[in-house]
């Protein structure tokens, strides 16, 4: 949609006909700030069209981006079935094309995939040679869900892994046309480096999160310690930077959990055990359960207690529940026979598909906390930040609050409510 809104003619291809139908009707299949407006504009200008017909779509295009999912197999390694299928379709379509076309792998793939999986499939299906008859690049995506459009329009850098110079130059030209004056720094390198850069990037960010959660777990055992003060101070060190240093209930989403696992499996396949990354995932797997520990410390046995859950999506400004810490927390609370009522500003429909009638759903934060024995903040939505101690005192059975994302003013809450927080 960003490409289309800058004047490029874009065809979106998906095998999911429901998604295609929705997008062509002007309805985004997921929630992302600003996306619906961009979609309407792109459709209005007739610059975007979606289809399930791959051959027809590729015919007139100069560049195609593979953006299919790369989920985890049961052993954590990457599942390349979707990438393989997309490569086949691109190859079939290329067979009938006479002009030079660049194939770009934007999906996150382990090093070697583009050269050893995508290239041979496209060559075999198209009967054409990579390099002379079509180009091939890796162009990892670094956007964050919740600010995807902003990140797409203002990236820190563009990474282009190129099979050969012509491929890289074609893609660089495309981005120069797209970004114009505000062209970000560009890194041009080989296919392997660019594939590894994406994994290294995500593993580093995941490491920062698990690191600060480790410090938080130390703080909780240390009278007077507060991870928020510690994080703010170390974040001011330019060598550290303040980003991804918020202690909480762990990272989730469709990328960090699967990409750290894929990096571990890939590294093991090379004969090297990446112990640091393993520790990062281990810390993260345990972190959501802290919410339940703290609730038990605050109100005792949770059986038949009414627990209000504020926030279900893996982060604010998205309706994405993939690997969200809330899933583990709610399931653990259910095991403890707690009664759960939940509210999320955007993820309610997705939550209902997962939890069904096992939990209750509220239509606002205030309705959610009404009559509850304990409230757990799982996602740091702005609307929850606005709640004051008085709101919890007025509406809950007893104001017992677990701040799982450190969104509240500790002093004010400690004065007036029963309050526990990660890293405090």
CA distance linking residue 61 with residue 53, whole number of Å? 14
Structure token digits, residue 249: 């209930």
Give the nearest distance from C-beta 148 to ligand NAD in angstroms. Answer: 7
Question: Is 70 among the residues that bind ligand NAD (CB under 6 A)?
Answer: yes
DSSP tally for the chain: helices H, then strands E = 20, 13
Distances 211 to 170, 258, 335 between C-alpha atoms, Å: 40, 18, 29
Distances 381 to 232, 298, 310, 315, 384 between C-alpha atoms, Å: 20, 23, 9, 8, 6
Which listed range, 62-70, 219-227, 300-308, 359-367, lies at the site for ligand NAD (CB under 6 A)? 62-70
Structure token digits, residue 238: 């330019």
For ligand NAD, the closer CB: 140 or 248: 140
CA angle centred on 135, ends 130 and 136, rounded to 5°:
90
Among 64, 207, 254, 267, binds ligand NAD (CB under 6 A): 254
Residue 211, helix vs strand vs coil: helix
Give the nearest distance from C-beta 369 to ligand NAD in angstroms. Answer: 30
Question: Is 255 among the residues that bind ligand NAD (CB under 6 A)?
Answer: yes
Residue 392, helix vs strand vs coil: helix
CA distance linking residue 46 with residue 282, whole number of Å? 48
180: Cβ–Cβ under 8 A, 6 or more apart, which residues? none
Give the nearest distance from C-beta 58 to ligand NAD in angstroms. Answer: 11
Which listed range, 138-146, 226-234, 282-290, 379-387, lies at the site for ligand NAD (CB under 6 A)? 138-146
Question: Is 323 among the residues that bind ligand NAD (CB under 6 A)?
Answer: no
DSSP assignment of 276-332: HHHHHHHHHHHTTHHHHHHHHHHHS--TT-EEEEE--SSSTT----TT-HHHHHHHH
For ligand NAD, the closer CB: 95 or 129: 95
Containing H/E element for 162?
strand 158-162
Burial of 77 (0-12, 13-18, 19+ CB in 10 A): middle
CA distance linking residue 168 with residue 84, whole number of Å? 22
Question: Is 85 among the residues that bind ligand NAD (CB under 6 A)?
Answer: yes
For ligand NAD, the closer CB: 67 or 189: 67
What is the contact mask toward ligand NAD in residues 92 to 121, using x (rule: CB under 6 A)?
Answer: ---------------xx-------------
Give the nearest distance from C-beta 184 to ligand NAD in angstroms. Answer: 16
For ligand NAD, the closer CB: 79 or 172: 79
For ligand NAD, the closer CB: 108 or 287: 108
Among 86, 309, 362, 396, binds ligand NAD (CB under 6 A): 86
Active site residue 400: no
Tell me which residue has tokens 């600060």. 212
Helix-strand-coil percent breakdown of the chain, rounded to 5?
Answer: 45, 15, 40
Give the nearest distance from C-beta 263 to ligand NAD in angstroms. Answer: 12
Give the nearest distance from C-beta 272 to ligand NAD in angstroms. Answer: 23
The count of chain residues that interact with ligand NAD, using the rule CB under 6 A, is 20
Picking from 185, 90, 172, 115, the residue whose alpha carbon sits closest to that of residue 139 is 172
Which listed range, 65-73, 96-104, 162-170, 292-300, lies at the site for ligand NAD (CB under 6 A)? 65-73
For ligand NAD, the closer CB: 246 or 318: 318
For ligand NAD, the closer CB: 93 or 401: 93
Give the nearest distance from C-beta 145 to ligand NAD in angstroms. Answer: 4
The residues with which 162 forms a beta bridge, in sequence order, are 137
Residue nearest ligand NAD by beta-carbon distance: 69
Among 68, 103, 104, 283, binds ligand NAD (CB under 6 A): 68
Among 24, 61, 67, 190, binds ligand NAD (CB under 6 A): 67
Strand-by-strand arrangement of the 400-403 sheet: 360-361, 339-343, 306-310, 374-377, 400-403, 418-421
Question: Is 143 among the residues that bind ligand NAD (CB under 6 A)?
Answer: yes
CA distance linking residue 227 with residue 321, whole number of Å? 27
CA distance linking residue 424 with residue 422, whole number of Å? 6
CA distance linking residue 150 with residue 148, whole number of Å? 6
What is the contact mask toward ligand NAD in residues 1 to 30, using x (rule: CB under 6 A)?
Answer: ------------xxxx--x-----------
Given the residues 50, 255, 375, 400, the one annotated as active site: 255
Catalytic residues: 255
Residues engaged in binding ligand NAD (CB under 6 A): 13-16, 19, 67-70, 82, 85-86, 89, 107-108, 141, 143, 145, 254-255
């Amino acid at each position: 949609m960003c490409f289309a809104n800058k004047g490029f003619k874009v065809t979106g291809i998906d095998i999911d006909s429901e998604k295609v139908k929705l997008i062509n009707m002007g309805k985004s299949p997921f929630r992302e700030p600003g996306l619906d407006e961009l979609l309407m504009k792109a459709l209005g200008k007739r610059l975007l069209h979606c289809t399930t017909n791959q051959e027809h779509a590729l015919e007139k295009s100069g560049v195609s981006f593979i953006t299919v999912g790369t989920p985890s197999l049961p052993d954590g390694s990457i599942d390349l079935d979707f990438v393989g299928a997309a490569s086949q379709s691109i190859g079939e379509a290329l067979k009938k094309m006479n002009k030079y076309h660049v194939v770009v792998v934007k999906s996150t793939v382990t090093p070697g995939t583009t050269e050893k999986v995508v290239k041979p499939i496209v060559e075999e299906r198209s009967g054409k040679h990579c390099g002379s008859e079509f180009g091939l690049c890796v162009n990892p995506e670094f956007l964050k869900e919740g600010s995807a459009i902003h990140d797409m329009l203002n990236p820190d850098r563009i990474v282009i892994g190129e099979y050969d110079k012509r491929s890289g130059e074609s893609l660089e030209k495309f981005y120069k046309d797209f970004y114009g004056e505000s062209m970000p720094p560009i890194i041009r390198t080989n296919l392997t480096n660019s594939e590894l850069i994406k994994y290294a990037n995500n593993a580093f960010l995941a490491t920062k999160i698990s690191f600060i959660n480790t410090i938080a777990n130390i703080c909780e055992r240390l009278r007077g310690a507060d991870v928020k003060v510690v994080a703010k101070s170390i974040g001011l060190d330019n060598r550290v930077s303040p980003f991804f240093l918020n202690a909480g209930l762990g990272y989730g989403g469709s990328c960090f959990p699967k990409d750290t696992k894929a990096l571990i499996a890939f590294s093991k396949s090379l004969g090297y055990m990446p112990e640091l990354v393993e520790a990062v995932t281990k810390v993260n797997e345990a972190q959501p359960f802290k919410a339940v520990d703290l609730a038990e410390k605050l109100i005792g046995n949770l059986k038949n207690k009414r627990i209000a859950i504020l926030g279900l999506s893996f982060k604010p400004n998205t309706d994405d529940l993939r690997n969200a810490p809330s899933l583990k927390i709610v399931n653990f609370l259910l095991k403890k026979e707690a009664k759960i009522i939940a509210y999320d500003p955007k993820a309610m429909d997705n939550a209902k598909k997962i939890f069904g009638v096992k939990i209750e759903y509220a239509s606002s934060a205030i309705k959610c906390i009404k009559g509850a024995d304990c409230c757990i903040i799982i996602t740091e939505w702005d609307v929850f930040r606005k709640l004051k101690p008085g709101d919890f005192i007025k509406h809950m059975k007893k104001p017992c609050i677990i701040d799982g994302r450190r969104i509240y003013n500790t002093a004010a809450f400690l004065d007036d409510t029963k309050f526990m927080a990660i890293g405090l």
